[in-house]
Structure 1
Amino acid sequence: MAGNAAALRARLATGRILTIPGCYDAMSAKLVEQAGFDAAYVSGYAVSATQIGLPDAGLLSYKEILDQARDIAGAVSIPLIGDADTGFGNPVNVRRTVKGFADAGIACIMLEDQVFPKRCGFAKGVEVVPRGEALTRLQAALDMRDEIRAEGGDVLILARTDSRVAEGLEEALWRCEAFADRGADIVYFEGPQSRGEMEALCSRVQAPKLLAQLEREGRPLLSPKEAEAIGYDCLLFGVTLLNVSIRAMRDALALMAQGNHPGPDRLLSFDELYETVGFDWYYEQEERYRGE
């Protein structure tokens, strides 16, 4: 949606840090919106886990992630950042991916420089394509972005590099700078190992920058204020909601397996559950269209 892309661009221009929770289905996205966040991220990691029960290792197809993104976009009005992996093929595939995601209602498309098939950035065996191929891939996405804008639509491109783990800090910084110079709307490198590496990126690259946060031992976990002070524009919590939902379900199931019940302190009231899934809205619509 052109309006959501414009809203995201305007939000970035405020200079205030944008905190972005990751979602994986329509309900999780609606909860993000209801909590007052200005944007959400359609996480490939979380979609893969919840839709096919498998890890984020390039197993989801373009069609599978696109269909889920479309359903999520139809459920909320806030801008969505969509995880498009490597673009699902060569530069022609990248163009098709950008167009498909934009048509599905995604405001910003994340494109990375891993080899295909990709894997999540903190998995074993991450590899990136050579610099030239990475820039060509990005250029294909930017060309389609510009064509969409010329036709009255709008979409942003978030250029990501996974070269920090694969090839080192200097390569990650070089790629982020090159991505920004090419015209990427937002850039980020996966897996900074320290605050100093974060500061190096923010001092070297002038385009809007995203920091992905991961609740993992040994990884720095910054508050929005801390990230903003370093120079970041976006703070992403890509798998936090997936993590807490799995934990909550496991805890409830463990109690049930022992013949117990999770109890009211772990549950919404029935009325709150009823309202959250949308029955109150449905009855309002039903009454509106009731025959004379």
Structure 2
Amino acid sequence: MASRQIEPYPFKFDTEELINSEPHPERSTEVTINLRNVRGRIPSFQAARLRSLWLEGYKNPEKILAFPCSYDGLSSRLVEEAGFPIVFMSGFNIASSFGLPDTGYVAMQEMCEKLQEVVRQVNIPVMADGDTGYGSPMNVRRTVESFAKAGAAGVMIEDQTWPKRCGHTKGKSVVSREEAYARIQAACDARNEGQDIFVLARTDALIISGEEAMTRVAEFKRIGVDAIFVEALPDRAAMQRCVNEVDMPMLANIIEGGKTENLSAKELAELGFAAVAYPWTLVAAKLKSIRDTLESLKRSMTVGAPDMILSYDEVVEGVGFKKYWELEERYKYKE
């Protein structure tokens, strides 16, 4: 199989878990795990790891937790293989995997099923988009609890009305301050009283005003979220003002061609963002590559064999046959 050039991940994170002994393969043993940055009644290894990564990127101009958003088990595994430290399942990406726009079509149970699919494929922390929480604050609480049980290390909850919209498209609106606060309180309560999970609070209230967005953010911060996301900040100056005022870990959201100025991850780190998501990138790549390949296939039909996109061995390994065959060999038995 031809060797692939893998670009190294550009930011170094020191976060690691400390285990005082190796588990014995044939008998039980006592192991002590030291987890930093734990919240919640029931600690979570991956939630603590995720929170530590965000905090390490916070106010450090030399690094930022930068990641594309994925949409299924294979894309998430490829994100991990490429060296990214976390996976983020955005609502936009997951909706695209159903052939749908990000307009509230995907329900909580479908997200939980996708989440379990992704968690089975990767070893890095997985964040999942909880949208509006799919109903009342009680639904928000159930969503956060369900995501944690399904294996999510983090969850994002927002203040849009339902059906929610991709934050860079038309037609979105937000609920009242009071409802937004109740949602975030329910999310934090689910974390504090149950299994630990990183809570990212999102507001789309810039559609009203910057002052409204900052008022909501201040209350989200007081309630006890782990990080803040103000959607659709237009330019560098607005981003800098927001980071300075919020003064806690913040997410930047870069959609190529969207409402936010397209800055590099390095520039966003220098502005003070702890993390940056790229939800558009893999969906755009999927659309382009499949469309281009279909056209190429049609052109080849009357002139010769179709183009070789990847070698047979590369496809076989990429979808997991090699690992499966290794395990199959391990479990061989005679009748």
Matched residue, 1:23: 70
Matched residue, 2:85: 38
From the CA coordinates, give the structure whose radius of gyration is larger.
2
CA distance in 1 between counterparts of 2:137 and 2:260 reads 33
Aligned with 1:71 (options 114, 117, 123): 117
Matched residue, 2:175: 129
Matched residue, 2:330: 288
CA distance in 1 between counterparts of 2:131 and 2:116 reads 16
Query: Helix, strand or coil: the match of 1:160?
Result: strand
**Are 1:84 and 2:84 an aligned pair?**
no
Conserved 8 A contact 2:86-2:126: yes
Greater Cα shift, 230-239 or 115-124: 115-124
Matched residue, 1:5: 47
Conserved 8 A contact 1:177-1:204: no
**Are 1:245 and 2:286 an aligned pair?**
yes
CA distance in 2 between counterparts of 1:62 and 1:18 reads 26
Greater Cα shift, 136-145 or 8-17: 8-17
Conserved 8 A contact 2:202-2:228: yes
CA pair 275-112 structure 1, distance change in 2 beyond 3 A: same
**Are 1:118 and 2:160 an aligned pair?**
no
**Are 1:258 and 2:258 an aligned pair?**
no
Conserved 8 A contact 1:30-1:75: yes
List per-residue Cα deviations over 1:53-84 (Å, max 9, x = no partner).
12111111111111111111111111111011
Matched residue, 1:102: 148
TM normalised by structure 1 equals 0.93
List per-residue Cα deviations over 1:109-163 (Å, max 9, x = no partner).
0000001221111221110011111011100010011012xxxx32111000011
Which residue type is aligned with residue 156 of structure 1? F
Matched residue, 2:38: none
The structural deviation recorded for 1:262 is: 5.8
Query: Helix, strand or coil: the match of 2:152?
Result: coil
Conserved 8 A contact 2:300-2:306: no
List per-residue Cα deviations over 1:188-208 (Å, max 9, x = no partner).
111011111100111011221
Which residue type is aligned with residue 278 of structure 2? F
Gaps of 5+ in 1: none
List per-residue Cα deviations over 1:164-217 (Å, max 9, x = no partner).
1x2122222222222122211010111011111100111011221000100116
The structural deviation recorded for 1:239 is: 2.1
Matching of residues 79-228 of structure 1 within 5 Å: 79-148=125-194, 153-164=195-206, 166-216=207-257, 219-228=260-269
Which residue type is aligned with residue 225 of structure 1? K
Runs of 4+ deviating beyond 3 Å: 259-262
Conserved 8 A contact 2:131-2:158: yes
List per-residue Cα deviations over 1:30-72 (Å, max 9, x = no partner).
0000001101110211111112x12111111111111111111
How many residues in Structure 1 have an aligned counterpart in Structure 2? 284
Matched residue, 1:268: 310
Which residue type is aligned with residue 92 of structure 1? M
Percent of counterpart pairs with the same letter?
40
Which residue type is aligned with residue 95 of structure 1? R
Conserved 8 A contact 1:43-1:239: no
Conserved 8 A contact 2:226-2:249: yes
CA distance in 2 between counterparts of 1:269 and 1:10 reads 39
The structural deviation recorded for 1:106 is: 0.6
Matched residue, 1:61: 107
CA pair 217-11 structure 1, distance change in 2 beyond 3 A: closer
Conserved 8 A contact 1:40-1:80: yes
Which residue type is aligned with residue 251 of structure 1? D
CA distance in 1 between counterparts of 2:241 and 2:251 reads 13
Which residue type is aligned with residue 252 of structure 1? T
TM normalised by structure 2 equals 0.82
Q: CA RMSD in A?
A: 1.5
